Amino acid sequence: MNYKLILDIAIHLLRARLKQTIVAAVGVTFSIAMFISLVSFMSGLNGLLDGLMLNRTPHIRMFNEVKPSDNQPLSLSKDYKGNTVFIHSIKPKDRGKSIYNSMSIISALKQDKRIIDVAPKVTASVLYNSGTIEISGMVNGIDVLAENTLFKISDYIKEGKLSDLFQNNSIIIGKGLSDKMLLSVGDIIKVSTSNGTLSSLKIVGISETGIADIDNMASYTSLATAQKIVGQPKNYITDIQVNLYKKENAVAIAHEFHTVYDVDTIDYLAANVQFETGSSVRSIISYAVGIVLLIVAGFGIYNILNMMIYEKMDSIAILKATGFSGSDVKWIFISLSIIIGVTGGVFGLIFGFIFSSIIDVIPFSSPSVPSVTTYPIDYNGSYYVIGLVFALFTTLISGFFPAMKASRVDPVEIIRGK
């Protein structure tokens, strides 16, 4: 088959109907552009919302959970081996919140090539004392450097600096706490724990995450200070947080750590199921809208090619009489629709990029994500590939039926009809 000739004929036919062709191509352009900007925006938004939670959740958290022991004393008894035993009124066993052998686990994890960093943490529930008022809350003792590489908490520090936590007996309190207790940087806050120890800490900063529950309760201090507050030694660690290079592997690795180190583990997916659901629903919506737009554009192309075939019956007849076969004619019309699809699609990608860039500079601020100042856009190359593939696919389908019709035109009928 002579592709050059077929393409040449297709282009000449297009030129003869330039206006309609442009309208059809603009339909494709519009739908692809909308698809690209919609998906980029939705995905940017998804990233932002997921980031809200996921960026603060370690990929894997290791801790000791309060739960009943799997091995009750009765199961050690030889007499009842093989029997089904019923035990009533089991109480959970307190193994302590501290992770056993935490120091060697941490040093082993630091050697692991799959892991970005390890952040040990001490959490303690406390009462903040202000005059006669007591407010319950949570003190997080953190490894300042590791915590910042994993969770970028310096982004949420409104006043003061994260590095000030290196001073002894210093604390960064949540915005809600500082508002309620009228405390500001430089003041002293009294913190008491459940076992009765009372410590005075100097406020070196205020944090604001945008999540009221956290801002009203949580405060940050260094690991050593937290251990001092709860009256525990240097090896007292309640949580080990781990971030992975490939977070997709979190489930498997969490399971592995559970068996290797004999601690309870939870991966970020299990901790944030609802966010995954939300993300996938939003992507489905944007893809659905994009596909609907493309189908509409496809009908436009179908119409125009159909019209063209009726107009060009004579030309089709003579092409067939002079030696073009049915499949040649079919390919002429398929190339027509491919030309419309490709030009419309490529312009759609360009306009999609332009629209995304416009959305990208519209100001948008949210206290919960201080690093974001404009609407989020995800410039992912794969959306552009998908968009172009969609455009080609729909134009091919919508061009195929008219092309089949053209290939079946009987030249004798046309020529004798004159």
- Binding residues (CB under 8 A) for another protein: these are 2, 5, 12-13, 15-16, 314-315, 317-328, 410-412, 415-416, 418
**Closest approach of Cβ 324 to another protein, in Å?**
6
**Closest approach of Cβ 334 to another protein, in Å?**
17
Q: Which two tokens stand for residue 17?
A: 């109907």
DSSP, residue by residue, 313-371:
HHHHHHHHHTT--HHHHHHHHHHHHHHHHHHHHHHHHHHHHHHHHHHHTSB---TT-TT
Adjacent-strand bridge partners of 201:
189
Q: What gap in Å lies between CA 98 and CA 373, rounded to an integer? A: 41
**Closest approach of Cβ 344 to another protein, in Å?**
22
Q: What gap in Å lies between CA 123 and CA 97, rounded to an integer? A: 9
Q: What gap in Å lies between CA 52 and CA 367, rounded to an integer? A: 11
Query: Where in 34-81 does DSSP place strands (E)?
Result: 60-63
Please say which residue, 246 or 418, places its beta carbon nearer to another protein.
418
**Closest approach of Cβ 417 to another protein, in Å?**
10
Please say which residue, 34 or 319, places its beta carbon nearer to another protein.
319
**Closest approach of Cβ 11 to another protein, in Å?**
9
- What distances in angstroms separate CA 239 from CA 142, 150, 198, 223, 308, one per listed residue? 10, 14, 23, 11, 71
**Closest approach of Cβ 406 to another protein, in Å?**
14
Please say which residue, 113 or 418, places its beta carbon nearer to another protein.
418
Please say which residue, 402 or 411, places its beta carbon nearer to another protein.
411
- What distances in angstroms separate CA 306 from CA 9, 81, 396, 406, one per listed residue? 17, 81, 14, 9
Please say which residue, 363 or 417, places its beta carbon nearer to another protein.
417
Contact predicate 417/319, CB 8 Å: no
Three-state secondary structure call for residue 93: strand
- Residue 14: CA count within 13 A, CB half-sphere: 23
First to last CA, the chain: 30
Please say which residue, 128 or 324, places its beta carbon nearer to another protein.
324
- Strand 157-160 to 170-174 pairing: unpaired
Cα-flanking dihedrals φ and ψ of residue 319, to 5°? -60, -45
**Closest approach of Cβ 346 to another protein, in Å?**
24
Three-state secondary structure call for residue 188: strand
Contact predicate 290/390, CB 8 Å: yes
Please say which residue, 324 or 355, places its beta carbon nearer to another protein.
324
> In Å, how far from its chain's centre is CA 343?
32
Adjacent-strand bridge partners of 222:
142
**Closest approach of Cβ 330 to another protein, in Å?**
11
**Closest approach of Cβ 343 to another protein, in Å?**
19
Please say which residue, 4 or 91, places its beta carbon nearer to another protein.
4
- Strand 60-63 to 239-244 pairing: antiparallel
**Closest approach of Cβ 13 to another protein, in Å?**
6
- What distances in angstroms separate CA 173 from CA 72, 111, 141, 229, one per listed residue? 43, 33, 12, 15
Please say which residue, 145 or 415, places its beta carbon nearer to another protein.
415
Please say which residue, 327 or 366, places its beta carbon nearer to another protein.
327
**Closest approach of Cβ 22 to another protein, in Å?**
17
Please say which residue, 17 or 121, places its beta carbon nearer to another protein.
17
